Amino acid sequence: MKFRPLHDRVVVRRAEGDTKSKGGIIIPDNAREKPQEGEVIAVGPGARDESGALIVPDVKAGDFILFGKWSGTEVKIDGEDLLIMKEADIMGIIDKSETGIVDKTMAVKNAA
């Protein structure tokens, strides 16, 4: 990717949503709720405080995060749908090793 976010902005690849309901019904793309989880692809260098000191972001590329439902701006970079948001829109980092959460976006890439 040839895109570098500025200041405290973060580029996120949204996780894939479930394609089936718990009852086994296949959910079409237009009715599927967008997940509030994703993988950080790129991070800006950070914002500056009032004295001009750099505030380094807490997230880094590769982190799996949880963000607000209406957070970010959807963009298409290199043919891929991504989100650009400020670090303040991120609610937290999900530790996949402890929670057992499987990143479905990586499973799809590895299968290809």
pTM > 0.75: yes or no? no
Q: pLDDT tens for residues 76-100?
A: 988 888 999 999 999 999 887 654 5
Residue 37 has pLDDT above 80, yes or no: yes
Predicted pLDDT of residue 96? 75
Higher-confidence position of 54 and 1 = 54
Predicted pLDDT of residue 9? 93
DSSP calls for 40-81: EEEE-S-EE-TTS-EE--S--TT-EEEE-TT-SEEEEETTEE
Residue 41 has pLDDT above 90, yes or no: yes
Predicted pLDDT of residue 16? 76
